[in-house]
Structure 1
């Protein structure tokens, strides 16, 4: 599933490819991708407009059409954006196709159709109405500590909660906890641990963005290079453990990510 680094790469891609090109029409191949907007409404709002800028917040993308109109995109689990020249074959799982007057087009390809397309008056209104938390790259230490201190549950589940902090998914939560030496089922972390964790989260996300989320280009010391059955910890050589936590497969090192607290299951 695309997480913050992948979505940031998509933002950079869109910024370099689709700005300032008049839109000719919008074709919806599958209406299930639409969120609170009809194909007719979407086409009416986009035709003749240009994308003026692209913003990202967490896993969401916002393409500015005019001062009070933005296209919203969520890539879901398998979504990706593909900018094409004239004559190129349309991607096999295109759910939305934006045609520009210059003959080029932008395809939203999404195999499993968990992505979303919609409209909003502004990113801030969208984030407030959707109760979406602060961006993981922008949140400061004090706000992060305040959020985590006020919540109950395992640290892994808290990091995945997009209403608390936005942009971190299963893979990068595993990586950050691995680098911080924190077991994913840990609870009630102290201030020092939380301060270290938010610093590492930002470092991990920034590093992944710098290599365009290509795991093969990440440092050898990263869990994501070894995160598979039979993989071994690059720090101490221990066999990595994996188990289901909240329906997600979680990987960790049993040697340097030992569970320090094991209280009863808390209600969230």
Structure 2
């Protein structure tokens, strides 16, 4: 499955299709000679048959977008999700209407009829969001750049096999292909007066956790900054990763929990470099700091390697985890340092782990804090207690409780403590008051 580094690479493939300004495009077109063919800035979508039936726009919606004079204004990413921002051209389309004559009026009437039939879009919206999810085998390609995936056999033909959507804009094109058809293309209506876009305004971005790259970079920048605010109430990524009962790999793979964009191989790489077992729960503050630092390094390095067309660093576990000569009963793979790699199930996924480097530590939740001010050194020191230390603390507490019970050795009778005598005195007073009321 394409993960954050691959999806960010797909975003870079789509960037040349963005139309910076319709006015600039029109001006450049007016200065060209008549012998030069100028492509329209309007976006054009083509869906080669067969058209996917699930989580994909209908042919009617595709036609409405093509006839709506939309231009591609931006390509955003959050986690593993891409969003193409389409905006109506601001210039008057009277010239195109005059050119096409009555056919335009007939198409507009058809679009109005489709709108009355509760079709998602009408083609008259000022802003549309075209969201793409890669699923298991989805990828974005261009005539000059056909990315390869580990899950797919090498095929650099364009458009790739199983292409479901071709996007043309700004004189360029790109294709979305998905052999296993677990990906999706969704169309959502944006704000009418939107001039800028954020993850909060895009429906498909609202259901997932913050982006792993942005959070890790912000955390590393905050650590270097001298204006750190200890009174901030918003929990940091480190606080969200610590003291959780769920195994750390399962927590990272959950796209709605702490971060989005991390998949199977990225999670294995982070935990391998951080020397943390995938099933480890109740991470300490120090472990979470190391994990976030490695998260920022692995993601930025992988993106840079994809952009420059070079392999990932040779010491990465990535190059060995795909050799499933490991697997059940055949742990023959070794990491860059010659240490044995085992393949286990963690977080519901096949996981590469180096036992000599990533040890599972037994822990329990020992402190819960709600704000940064309530975290003291003594409380946080208990966050990394082992089972034996917790058991010893329980024994000491039990001994203190038993010491409060004074038992005589001769008669075996129990001496009354001051609290017992006080409670008995209250009971005798209430009984005397009850008897006096009965006499009256």
Shorter-chain TM-score bucket reads: 0.7 to 0.9
- Runs of 5+ unmatched residues, structure 2: 20-40, 88-125, 145-156, 191-196, 220-234, 327-331, 365-440
Matched, 1:156 2:253: no
Measure how far apart 1:38 and its partner are: 3.0
Matched, 1:171 2:240: no
1:266 match: none
Greater mean deviation of Cα atoms: 201-210 or 19-28 = 19-28
Distance verdict in 2 for CA 1:253–1:84, change over 3 Å: same
Give 3-state SS (helix, strand or coil) of 2:306's partner: coil
Counterpart Cα distance in 2 of 1:147 and 1:128: 23
Matched, 1:27 2:47: yes
Residues matched between the structures, number: 258
Measure how far apart 1:258 and its partner are: 0.8
Contact 1:33 1:115 in 2 (8 A): no
Counterpart Cα distance in 1 of 2:167 and 2:312: 34
Which has the higher relative contact order, 1 or 2, with Cα contacts under 8 A spaced 6 or more apart?
1
Structure 1 segments, 4+ long, off by >4 Å, are: 99-102, 127-130, 213-216
Counterpart Cα distance in 1 of 2:73 and 2:170: 16
2:334 match: 232
Contact 1:62 1:72 in 2 (8 A): yes
Matched, 1:94 2:163: yes
Structure 1 or 2, whichever has the larger Rg, is 2
Contact 1:83 1:106 in 2 (8 A): yes
Distance verdict in 2 for CA 1:101–1:55, change over 3 Å: closer
From 348, 368, 386, the counterpart of 1:247: 348
Query: Once the two structures are superposed, what CA deviation does each residue of 1:148-171 show, in whole Å capped at 9, x if it has no partner?
Result: 247431000000000021100000
Matched, 1:14 2:14: yes
2:127 match: 68
Distance verdict in 2 for CA 1:25–1:176, change over 3 Å: closer
2:202 match: 126
Query: Once the two structures are superposed, what CA deviation does each residue of 1:32-72 show, in whole Å capped at 9, x if it has no partner?
Result: 3535x433124313543221111111111111112732211
Contact 2:344 2:353 in 1 (8 A): no
Give 3-state SS (helix, strand or coil) of 1:73's partner: strand
Measure how far apart 1:83 and its partner are: 2.5
Normalising by structure 2, report the TM-score.
0.54
Q: How does 1:103-114 map to 2 (within 5 A)?
A: 105-114=173-182
Measure how far apart 1:22 and its partner are: 2.0
- Runs of 5+ unmatched residues, structure 1: 264-268
Contact 1:73 1:118 in 2 (8 A): yes
Counterpart Cα distance in 2 of 1:150 and 1:134: 20
